[in-house]
């Protein structure tokens, strides 16, 4: 009796754990399973299995175009957000600049503003300055959203940087530009790489901002949204599965790289 009572909390805890794992993985597993179904509709039982939907997706011009467009936007966003983010974090750690707390708070604001609010305000902003919706507007919106993540990652690393590394570079003949590119930037490297991967994923994943700021070209999430409205089909499942596998792989690889760099 006694043994049963003392085991009870542990068993309950384990049960919750497995229930949570199931809740986490079941929808994803179902989605992936359906992408292999040899039929035109999404429902159980699966019956015959096939890879045909993947073949179809790979030949779907719309899908490939949307992929390319999303990647292009993600690349531009990452570049812009990294430059801005590093610049802002350098400003925050620099000596003799006032209002650094305010700079930090402002830089981080877009991370906590609800996506919807941010999307609407940006839409109003671009129409006020007569900027057309489309690629540039999307990149603008994604960059605003991504900068805080770069700032936080770069700052963490910058704050752990021994102050006299830059002094040493200056002492050995580097002006401040050379010291930045040859010492500070490489030192930031691993953290920055992690931040950049995060920017890519944020941008590719974004729907709300893109929806408000986009033109006629569809990004990947918008394409999938459009397709879902036309009814679920295993082709959508195949698309989503591809996106899931690729992003998970990129994320894990990035984590692996930054962890290795950190142990150095």
Partner 1 sequence: MEPVVQFDNVNKSYGGYVAVENLNLSIEAGKFVTLLGPSGCGKSTSLRMLGGFERPTSGRILLNGKDVTRVPPNKRNVNIVFQDYALFPHMTVAKNIAFGLELKGFDNQKIHRRVSELLELVQLEEYARRLPSELSGGQRQRVALMRALAPDPDVLLLDEPLSALDAKLRQQMQIELKSIQEKTGKTFMFVTHDQEEALTMSDTIVVMNKGRIEQMGDPDTLYGRPGSVFVANFIGETNLLRSTVLGMDGDMTTLSWNGITITASQGGLAPKLGEHLYVVLRPEAIHCSVAEPASGNRIKGKIRQRVFKGNHTSLMVDVGDGTLLNTLVHPSEIAHLSGENIWVGWKPETATVIPDRHAHN
SS3 72: helix
Residue reference for tokens 């839409």: 123
Q: Are 122 and 213 in contact (CB under 8 A)?
A: yes
Candidates 75-83, 100-108, 176-184, 231-239: pick the segment binding partner 1 (CB under 8 A): 176-184
Does 172 contact partner 1 by CB under 8 A?
A: yes
Does 174 sit near partner 1 (CB under 8 A)?
Answer: yes
Assess 95 for contact with partner 1 (CB under 8 A).
Answer: no
Residue from 27, 132, 186, 215 touching partner 1 (CB under 8 A): that is 186
Residue owning tokens 């993985």: 25
Tell me how far apart the alpha carbons of residues 176 and 105 are, in angstroms, rounded to a whole number: 27
Q: Which two tokens stand for residue 176?
A: 């401040």
CB of 141 to partner 1, least distance (A): 34
Interacting span for partner 1 (CB under 8 A) from 3-11, 34-42, 54-62, 180-188: 180-188
**Residue in 170, 180, 193, 207 binding partner 1, rule: CB under 8 A:** 170
Cβ-based neighbours of 14, under 8 Å, separated by 6 or more: none
- Residue pair 85/196 in contact (Cβ under 8 Å)? The answer is no
Write phi, then psi, for 37 (nearest 5 degrees). -80, 135
Nearest to partner 1 of 26, 261 (CB atom): 261
Cα separation, 156 vs 159, in Å, equals 5
Task: State the binding string over 2-41 for partner 1 (x if CB under 8 A, else -).
Answer: ----------------------------------------
In this complex, which beta carbon is closest to partner 1, that of residue 100 or of residue 176?
176
Residue with smaller CB distance to partner 1, 114 or 162:
162
Selected from 171, 253, 255, 259, the binder of partner 1 by CB under 8 A is 171
Nearest to 82 by CA among 203, 245, 211, 212: 203
Q: Mark residues 187-216: x for contact with partner 1 by CB under 8 A, - for none.
A: x-x---------------------------
Applying CB under 8 A, does 94 fall inside the site for partner 1? no
* Residues 198, 63: Cα–Cα separation, whole Å: 23
Q: How far apart are CA 200 and CA 140, in angstroms?
A: 14
123 in contact with partner 1 (CB under 8 A): no
- Give, in order, the Cα–Cα distances in Å from 42 to each of 45, 241, 245: 9, 14, 20
Binding track, positions 150-169, relative to partner 1; x by CB under 8 A: ------------x-xx-xxx
User: Which residues would be at the binding site for partner 1 (CB under 8 A)?
Assistant: 162, 164-165, 167-175, 178, 182-183, 186-187, 189, 264
């Amino acid at each position: 009796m006694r043994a049963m009572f003392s085991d009870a909390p542990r068993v309950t805890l384990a049960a919750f754990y497995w229930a949570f794992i199931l809740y986490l993985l079941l929808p994803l597993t179902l989605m992936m399973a359906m992408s292999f179904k040899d039929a035109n509709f999404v429902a159980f039982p699966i019956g015959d299995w096939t890879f045909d939907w993947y073949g179809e997706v790979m030949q779907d011009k719309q899908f490939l175009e949307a992929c390319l467009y999303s990647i292009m936007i993600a690349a531009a966003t990452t570049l812009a957000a990294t430059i801005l983010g590093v610049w802002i974090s350098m400003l925050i750690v620099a000596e003799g600049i006032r209002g650094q707390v305010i700079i930090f708070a402002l830089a981080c604001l877009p991370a906590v503003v609800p996506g919807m609010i941010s999307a609407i305000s940006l839409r109003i902003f671009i129409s006020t300055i007569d900027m057309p919706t489309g690629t540039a507007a999307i990149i603008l919106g994604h960059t605003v959203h991504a900068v805080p993540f770069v700032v936080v990652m770069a700052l963490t690393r910058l704050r752990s940087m021994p102050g006299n590394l830059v002094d040493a570079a200056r002492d050995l003949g580097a002006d401040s530009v050379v010291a930045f590119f040859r010492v500070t930037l490489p030192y930031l490297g691993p953290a920055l790489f992690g931040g950049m991967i995060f920017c890519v994923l944020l941008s590719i994943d974004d729907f709300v901002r893109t929806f408000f700021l986009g033109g006629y070209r569809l990004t990947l999430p918008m394409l999938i949204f459009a397709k879902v409205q036309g009814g679920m089909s295993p082709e959508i499942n195949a698309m989503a599965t591809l996106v899931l596998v690729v992003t998970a792989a990129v994320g894990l690889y990035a984590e692996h790289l930054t962890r290795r760099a950190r142990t150095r």
